[in-house]
Amino acid sequence: ILVKLLGSDYQLQYDEFDLCQLAKVIEVCRASKSRAEAGKKLFAVSRIQRNTTNDSDRLGKDLEKFNLTFQACKDC
């Protein structure tokens, strides 16, 4: 899945730590109906500690680091 989304040389572009996190994010995105649902699952603990919560936006910004979108993860 990472090759499909990031290209064959993805391991040269990203740290292993980031790739492990991304794999989990993709798994959650694929199992979720919407970006908001995925965000709520991924940020369940930290959202309790925040004054304002926009988990959908937060997920979108995290995916942008890899030039990805929720829909791209969902479709893979």
Identify whether the C-beta of residue 60 lies closer than 8 Å to the C-beta of residue 69.
Answer: yes
Pull the structure tokens for residue 21.
């996190």
Pull the structure tokens for residue 69.
């979108």
Predicted model pTM: 0.86
- For 23-63, what is each residue's pLDDT tens digit? 999 999 999 999 999 999 999 888 777 766 688 999 999 99
Distance CA(27)–CA(38), nearest Å, equals: 10
**6 to 16, 41, 63, 68: CA distances (angstroms):** 14, 23, 11, 8
